[in-house]
């Protein structure tokens, strides 16, 4: 009988001081795999501990011995106008930090790499200029191959998508999705793609993936993956976070958890490998 594996995908929020909530949620859900976005790590000792999530995640997931952290960019200060529903959105971390994607696993990592779909790892200073539409910020996808058993392997692709205000996508987001699809299909074993894509489901970019694989937010008719307080909550489907599976994955349970742990909602998948 195949083992049921629990995967959690969540954008943990760069701008929230939510370490206690995050730690409690991770312990409660007890996942076998975590795929997280906007995870922060200290570069300067002076950076505020309350905004550093990697340490809290590690302490809450001691049962997951294998990990791969891949930064998108480094920053010390963030300021942008008309962002997240606020006229001026500004944070000072009081020291340089890294922000990236993080996979932790109960299973051995056979191989791991980060593939940039836009720009390269950078120390970002001018966020006003960087985030003009279409966004120029560095973005990458983590690609990890796991050894589930002697005969079973699994590829995980953990992505934090190119930012856009309207979540409608551009030629760049479509090219990024095409690259991710190719990475998912280049191995013989099953793949799971997850993360915050910053794209609505109906977009041409997301159809690149939903036409080639099974997008679980569509299968389960999910209406939102952001809290109701989000500035886009009035849209028909405020869905920007995804778990997408290839053939060879049997879904046992999928849910989007209504939680205040972050400014995104957690996605949890219980699955087996055929």
Give the pTM.
0.96
What span, in angstroms and rounded, lies between the C-alpha atoms of 138 and 33? 25
What span, in angstroms and rounded, lies between the C-alpha atoms of 165 and 202? 16
Contacts of 3 (CB under 8 A, 6+ apart): 148, 149, 272
Give the model's pLDDT for residue 71: 98
Give the model's pLDDT for residue 54: 98
Q: Where are the domains of the chain?
A: 5-273
Per-residue model confidence as pLDDT tens digits over 139-194:
999 999 999 999 999 999 999 999 988 999 999 999 999 999 999 999 999 999 99
Question: Is the pLDDT reported for residue 25 higher than 80?
Answer: yes
Question: Is the pLDDT reported for residue 118 higher than 70?
Answer: yes
Q: Please tell us whether the domain made up of 5-273 is placed in CATH 3.60.10.10.
A: yes
- Closest by CA position to 67, among listed 156, 149, 132, 133: 156
What span, in angstroms and rounded, lies between the C-alpha atoms of 42 and 221? 38
Output the average pLDDT for the chain.
Answer: 95
Mean pLDDT of 103-108: 98
């Amino acid at each position: 009988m195949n083992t049921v594996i629990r995967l959690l995908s969540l954008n943990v929020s760069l701008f929230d001081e939510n370490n206690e909530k995050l730690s409690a949620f991770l312990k409660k859900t007890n996942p076998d795999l975590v795929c997280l976005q906007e995870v922060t790590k200290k570069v300067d000792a002076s950076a505020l501990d309350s905004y550093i999530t990697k340490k809290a995640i590690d302490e809450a997931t001691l049962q997951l011995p294998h990990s791969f952290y891949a930064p998108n960019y480094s920053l010390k200060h963030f300021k942008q106008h008309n962002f997240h529903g606020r006229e001026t959105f500004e944070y000072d971390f009081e020291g340089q930090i890294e922000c990236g994607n993080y996979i932790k696993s109960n299973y051995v990592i056979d191989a791991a790499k980060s593939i940039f779909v836009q720009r390269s790892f950078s120390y970002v200073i001018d966020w006003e200029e960087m985030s003009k539409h279409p966004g120029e910020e560095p973005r990458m996808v983590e690609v990890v191959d796991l050894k589930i058993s002697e005969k079973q392997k699994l590829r995980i692709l953990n992505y934090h998508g190119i930012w856009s205000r309207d979540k409608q996508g551009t030629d760049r987001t479509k090219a990024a999705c095409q690259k991710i699809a190719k990475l998912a299909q280049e191995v013989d074993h099953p793949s799971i793609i997850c993360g915050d894509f910053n794209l609505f489901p109906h977009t041409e970019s997301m159809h690149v993936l939903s036409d080639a694989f099974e997008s679980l937010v569509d299968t389960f008719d999910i209406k939102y993956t952001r809290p109701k307080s989000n500035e886009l909550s009035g849209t028909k489907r405020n869905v920007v976070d995804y778990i997408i599976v290839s053939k060879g994955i049997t879904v046992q349970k999928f849910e989007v958890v209504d939680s205040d742990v972050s400014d995104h909602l957690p996605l949890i998948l219980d699955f087996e490998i055929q």
